[in-house]
Every structure is written in structure tokens, then in C-alpha cells.
Amino acid sequence: MLTEINETADSDTFCATGAAWMVEEAEKIYNLPFNDLLFRAHSVHRANFDPNAVQMSRLLSIKTGGCAEDCGYCSQSAHAPTGLKASKLMEVERVIEEARKAKAGGATRYCMGAAWRSPKDRDMEAVLAMVRGVRSLGMETCMTLGMLTLAQSAALAEAGLDYYNHNVDTSERFYGEIITTRTFADRLETLANVRDAGMKVCAGGILGLGETTEDRIAMLLTLANLPVPPESVPINMLIPIPGSKLADAPAVDPIDFIRTIALARILMPRSHVRLSAGRTDMSDEMQALCFFAGANSIFVGETLLTADNPGEDKDAALFGRLGLKPMQLGAAE
């Protein structure tokens, strides 16, 4: 195990061995003096990526609301009186047209999300057509459709899906406090099916659910210690949804959030770490520190599924102030 945490090179050497990260090591890194932690994380980031390039994704809800899951944070759960009406699966041509607009706006990855517990066989043909259509535009494709069987995973992979998103959300210990309609093991089974089918994995979590610091570290360790860590790791800050179980959840401390981004970068040096939901409540300064700590992916556009997101003009202005640029397709793969 790592015994020295002051040498940046140790992190890459350690990860290359395939050995599992231990809780004690991760806690020691997380609790470093803030400046030391940021220096360590940024050094790891710079060793693996262009430090001034940010991968741009666009997210579209292809089927909204009416989900059978009871996720306490979600506006789309049928169990919560959030006022969101369920919609039917979007038509294939409309999805592809929206992807064209996203590409024209600078997005290189197109993510499509459906509020399902898992996709039904009758919907798979349309979903596969969406994947093929977006791929034909020269964009990377990502989907989040709930739990997948191995057969469904294989079909998506054959259609050309690049990434599948399935967040673990939080630690295994705390998971049952947030979701009761599926287990933590169910989450990991879907991730294994996705990986076995040959797709890349997008998996992260949410901060602000009422979890402890130890839960946040455990969530990242779950991901970092998978047989192959996720290629994409979205870190979300809870957006409290009126009517949801977590409508009155207290705000996340910005320094704690940045520490979590930094730890994700150190534990998973070659993964894209996405500064995901909650950016509308982050100051420019907080986002800048997240980018310095190793975040190198964002969602662009004014909406994330059903939640607000900074508009493209605001992101462009921030990128201009920080000297950041959009990451080119295929960079650091």
C-alpha cells in the first residue's frame, strides 16, 4: 500500500499495479491540508490530461418522469409528489436532431437518459436506433436507462454505445437511506454487465444526501477498486427538489465538495471527472477550484434532464476567464 502521500508519482505507480486502495490511505489523502491536497490532485491531473481542456457533454431526457424507483433525490420518481408529469419515449428523429444541435454547439459526447427502472424489450429497438443515429454524427454516445441485463448490454454495445451511465450514488452503508427499490448490489451488477459487454463505464455519485465524509470516501473507493475504474466519474451536488424526500437537505460545504473532486482525481488518475449537477449553485471561484483539483468534464446546455444548468454563454464566459478550452474528441482516451 502507499506509505508516502507527498510524492505525486506514487499515485500513478500505485494505480498501475492494480492493487486496491485502502480506506486508511484514502482518508489520509482526503484530510491533507487543503493546499497540499490540491497540489497533489492537480499534479496527478496534469500528468494524465491537458490541464486546460474540458470535455463537453450534452444531456437529453428521452423519457421523463413516472419512474418506479424511489430515489429520494429525484424529481422523476413516481413515489414523490414533485409535480413532474410522465412522458412517452421521444421519437428517434427528434433525438438525432437535438444531437445535431448539440454538436454544432461544441459538444463531443451526447448523453441520453430515460426514467426507467430498466428498459423494456419493446423500447429497445428505438433506443438502439438512437445510438446508431447519434454515432453517425461523429459523436460519442452515452445512455442511462436504469438496470441492464447482460443481453441488453450486449445489444447496446453492438449498436455502438460508447458509455453507459449508472451511478452508485453513495456508499453501500448509506445507500438504503436513499433508495429502497433496488440494492447497491443491483447497481454493481449492471456496471459488471456493461463492462462485460465491452462498453465504457460512467459511474459516480451525489453529495448532499445526508451522507458523512466517510460515505463519500467509501463511494469513491467502490468505483476506484472496480476491476477497471470507470472511464467517466460524474460528481453531482444535490439539487433539492420540492416534493422529494430530500427537499430540505442542507447545502454541501464547498470546500468539502472540492476535496471530494480532488480525491476522485487522485484515486482514478485516468478517468474523466465530471463536474455535474448543481453547477448553478456554484460560484465561478468554486468551479475554478474544482477544475484545478481535477474535474475535466461538464454538461453544457441550460437543462440537465429536469434540472437547471448554467447556460452556454455563462460557461463560455467562465472558460474565457480561466483560459479553458473544449477537449477534442478522443483526447486522453
Task: Specify which residues 202 forms β-bridges with.
Answer: 165, 232
Of 58, 67, 216, 265, the active-site residue reads: 67
- 274 is a catalytic site residue: yes
Dump strand ranges (E) for 92-159.
Answer: 109-114, 140-144
As a whole number of angstroms, the distance between CA 308 and CA 280 comes to: 7
Of 142, 182, 187, 265, the active-site residue reads: 142
- 142 is a catalytic site residue: yes
- 15 is a catalytic site residue: no
Question: Sign of the CA dihedral 224, 177, 147, 169?
Answer: negative
As a whole number of angstroms, the distance between CA 276 and CA 252 comes to: 14
What's phi and psi for 58, nearest 5 deg?
Answer: -120, 135
Of 202, 216, 265, 279, the active-site residue reads: 202
Of 109, 182, 259, 274, the active-site residue reads: 274
As a whole number of angstroms, the distance between CA 117 and CA 145 comes to: 7
The H or E element that residue 202 is part of is: strand 200-202
As a whole number of angstroms, the distance between CA 292 and CA 296 comes to: 9
Task: Specify which residues 63 forms β-bridges with.
Answer: 114
Of 15, 40, 74, 187, the active-site residue reads: 74
Place of cell 468505483: 223
Residues in the chain: 333
Neighbours of 87 (CB within 10 A): 15
Mark residue 243 as left, alpha or beta (left: phi above 0; alpha: psi -120 to 50; beta: remaining).
left
Of 15, 40, 58, 71, the active-site residue reads: 71
Residue (of 109, 138, 144) closest to 326 by Cα position: 109
- 67 is a catalytic site residue: yes
As a whole number of angstroms, the distance between CA 220 and CA 217 comes to: 5
Contacts of 92 (CB under 8 A, 6+ apart): 126, 129, 130, 133
Which residues belong to the active site? 67, 71, 74, 111, 142, 202, 274
